[in-house]
Amino acid sequence: MPSQIVQFDNVRKTYQMGLVTVEALRGVSLEIQTGEYVCIMGPSGCGKSTMLNLLGCLDRPTSGRYLLGAQDVSQMDDDALSTVRGTRLGFIFQSYNLIQQLTVVENIEVPLYYQSRPEEESRILAARYATRVGLENRVHHKPFELSGGQQQRVAIARALVNDPLVILADEPTGNLDSTSGVEILKIFDDLHAQGKTIILVTHDENVSRHAHRAIRLRDGQVESDLRQ
């Protein structure tokens, strides 16, 4: 039986913009099971980015609970949240967010710094993940020497190297041409087939069809939550 890995329990997030209070999320409750491939969709301003920031422990709810792997991360301090991000979550961004001064293998190693692994062990593991995403011949290249699709492969390898509970992807094909986008989505399909839990934010209906569940937000609330 699949186990619950993410739980939002009446999660609210408000921001103060001068004298105006903005309700970005308004009482969202949902559960995601281990191994699910979920996309989050909705129009601009619906709360997608806020939800991703909360899921990724980049922010805390104003109220409500967020359980990640049965651990309540809602009210953790900054140091504890940093540890959770470095050891339990894998991030893939639209703009790749690679460190330009580092090589492919060095970029992939970054999450391993949180685990205090021996340097040689980290390098071997990072090289293994570079091979896993088809970059075994690019390990000593720097990001500016790679195509957009190759840079996103580095980002995927970096997200996987710490064996995270959840992979979070924010518009991962948004900066790619159609061919590279198809290749990246094939990697996500393969990861899902291997049992990885994936939560992907997208506005692209074609991308969303790769997921097995679509959560649509509107005005900070869940409008629909359908398996597909």
Tell me which residue of 1, 25, 22 sits closest to 13, measured CA to CA: 25
Q: What is the pLDDT of residues 114-135, one digit of tens each?
A: 777 888 999 999 999 999 999 9
**pLDDT score at 1:** 47
Residue range 183-198: mean pLDDT, rounded: 94
Q: How far apart are CA 60 and CA 81, in angstroms?
A: 9
**pLDDT score at 67:** 96
The residue among 212 and 119 whose pLDDT is bigger is: 212
Q: Is the pLDDT of residue 87 over 50?
A: yes
Asked whether the beta carbons of 101 and 51 are under 8 A apart, the reply is: no
Q: What is the pLDDT of residues 131-182, one digit of tens each?
A: 999 999 999 999 999 999 999 999 999 999 999 999 999 999 988 999 999 9
35 — alpha (psi -120 to 50), left (phi > 0) or beta? Answer: left
Q: What is the pLDDT of residues 39-58, one digit of tens each?
A: 999 998 899 999 999 999 99
**pLDDT score at 228:** 87
Q: What is the pLDDT of residues 96-120, one digit of tens each?
A: 999 999 999 999 999 988 777 888 9
- The CA angle 95-33-84, to the nearest 5 degrees, is 55
Confidence of residue 19 (pLDDT cuts 50, 70, 90): confident
Confidence of residue 62 (pLDDT cuts 50, 70, 90): very high
Confidence of residue 2 (pLDDT cuts 50, 70, 90): low
**pLDDT score at 114:** 74
E strand segments, the chain: 4-17, 20-33, 37-41, 63-68, 71-72, 89-92, 166-170, 198-201, 213-218, 221-227
Burial class (CB in 10 A: 0-12, 13-18, 19+), 66: buried
Please report the domains of the chain, with CATH numbers, ordered by start residue.
4-227 (3.40.50.300)
Q: Is the pLDDT of residue 38 over 50?
A: yes
**pLDDT score at 86:** 87
